[in-house]
């Protein structure tokens, strides 16, 4: 924690809120931004100027429902503390825009979703802020330093405003983040453990296709994982097939498609067998929602997490694994590694 405090103290000395600086913190709902938020609240509270903190969250319209609710709960607590919050929303749903512009699902070298739902809405928001000096706080760790080329502070002019972007977690790795949350901020830690059930790192949007495997969606919402596989397989098989698959998905899970509207003229992808959707379809073709997945317990090296798609299957497995710890009504079992052989029998 002293490393974070030292970085925040440097920022305070150079970008003091008393000199007109607005501290703007980007909050995704994940572990890194949660730690940064908790640390900044403590720091600014000690300085008596928490009202100079504005916490923002970019709504991608395809967030996991559990993350969506977690963000809103955290924001309620932040406002009670005395800071300000804002949820930045793009005008159109992810799938509305995909059909309107003829986009494929995102891939590593065409992350149009980040451009639209992250950078785009953030730039427009900053442009409309009355403050001319803004300290933009990002939760980037030291083991992610290539994202910022090793520089934890950089300054630029955006719309005539002086914007300083800083990453106060630059001295920490993923294990440091979890250790600090567990020991210093147990309330944040408890909430995060309910959504990081698959592994200690990685929590994204349910429709994300940049990643090779989506353990978070599979663990938290197997139905959405199934819909994702269906939609990925349908996108480059013809516009009509994709629209029918999307209609079915919206009927089944309207909560997963906020602000969705059908565009007047849906467009198909320009496909020659090598488009992003073709590559994604090949990667996701034939996938089925597995009965269960097994992950190492990232708190105890001698234990495993068995995450079931259906709670009934988990409760049935308890009969073979009497020493299992049961979580989430049977969807998650925590068992000693030595007992796994009984599950396979």
Element of type H or E holding 240: helix 239-252
Which pLDDT belongs to residue 85? 97
Assign 82 a pLDDT band (cuts: 50, 70, 90): very high
For the chain, which domains are there? Answer: 2-189 (3.40.50.620), 201-284 (no CATH), 292-344 (no CATH)
What is the rounded average pLDDT of the residues 91-96? 95
Residue 186 has pLDDT above 90, yes or no: yes
Which pLDDT belongs to residue 296? 79
Residue 157 has pLDDT above 90, yes or no: no
75 or 296, which is more confident: 75
Order of all β-strands in the sheet with 133-137:
84-89, 53-59, 21-26, 133-137, 161-166, 153-158
Assign 339 a pLDDT band (cuts: 50, 70, 90): confident
Assign 150 a pLDDT band (cuts: 50, 70, 90): low
Which pLDDT belongs to residue 148? 59
* Predicted confidence (pLDDT) per residue in 257-284, tens digit: 999 999 999 988 766 555 555 666 666 6
Rounded Cα distance, 61 and 94, in Å: 6
Query: What percentage of the chain reaches a pLDDT higher than 70?
Result: 89
Q: Which residue has the tokens 């408890």?
A: 190
Which pLDDT belongs to residue 271? 61
Element of type H or E holding 55: strand 53-59
Query: What percentage of the chain reaches a pLDDT higher than 90?
Result: 50
Rounded Cα distance, 88 and 118, in Å: 9
Which pLDDT belongs to residue 275? 58
Which pLDDT belongs to residue 14? 95
pTM: 0.87
What is the rounded average pLDDT of the residues 6-24? 95
Residue 98 has pLDDT above 70, yes or no: yes
Assign 245 a pLDDT band (cuts: 50, 70, 90): very high
Rounded Cα distance, 35 and 1, in Å: 10
* Predicted confidence (pLDDT) per residue in 25-74, tens digit: 999 999 999 999 999 999 999 999 999 999 999 999 999 999 999 999 99
Which pLDDT belongs to residue 23? 98
Which pLDDT belongs to residue 94? 97
Rounded Cα distance, 18 and 22, in Å: 9
């Amino acid at each position: 924690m002293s490393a974070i405090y030292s970085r925040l103290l440097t920022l305070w000395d150079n970008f003091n809120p008393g000199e007109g600086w607005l501290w703007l913190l980007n909050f995704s709902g994940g572990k890194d931004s949660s730690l940064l938020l908790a640390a900044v609240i403590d720091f600014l509270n000690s300085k008596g100027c928490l009202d100079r903190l504005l916490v923002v969250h970019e709504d991608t319209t395809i967030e996991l429902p559990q993350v969506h609710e977690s963000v809103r709960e955290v924001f309620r607590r932040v406002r009670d503390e005395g800071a300000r919050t804002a949820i930045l929303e793009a005008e159109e749903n992810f799938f509305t825009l995909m059909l309107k512009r003829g986009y494929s699902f995102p891939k590593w070298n065409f992350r149009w979703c980040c451009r639209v739902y992250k950078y785009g809405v953030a730039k427009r928001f900053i442009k409309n802020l009355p403050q001319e000096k803004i300290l933009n706080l990002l939760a980037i760790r030291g083991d992610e330093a290539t994202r910022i080329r090793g520089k934890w502070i950089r300054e630029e002019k955006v719309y005539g405003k002086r914007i300083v972007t800083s990453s106060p977690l630059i001295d920490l790795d993923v294990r440091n983040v979890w250790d600090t949350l567990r020991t210093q901020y147990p309330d944040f830690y408890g909430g995060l453990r309910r959504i990081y059930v698959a592994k200690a790192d990685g929590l994204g949007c349910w429709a994300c296709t940049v990643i090779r495997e989506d353990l978070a969606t599979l663990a938290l919402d197997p139905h959405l994982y199934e819909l994702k596989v269906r939609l990925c397989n349908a996108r480059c098989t013809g516009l009509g097939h994709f629209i029918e698959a999307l209609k079915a998905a919206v009927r089944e899970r309207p909560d997963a498609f906020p602000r969705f509207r059908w565009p007047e003229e849906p467009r198909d992808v320009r496909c020659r067998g090598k488009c992003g959707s073709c590559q994604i379809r090949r990667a996701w073709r034939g996938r089925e929602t597995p009965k269960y997945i097994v992950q190492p317990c990232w708190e105890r090296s001698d234990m495993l997490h068995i995450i079931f798609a259906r709670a009934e299957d988990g409760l049935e497995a308890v009969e073979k694994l009497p020493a299992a710890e049961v979580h989430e009504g049977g969807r998650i079992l925590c068992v000693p590694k030595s007992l796994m052989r009984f599950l396979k029998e």
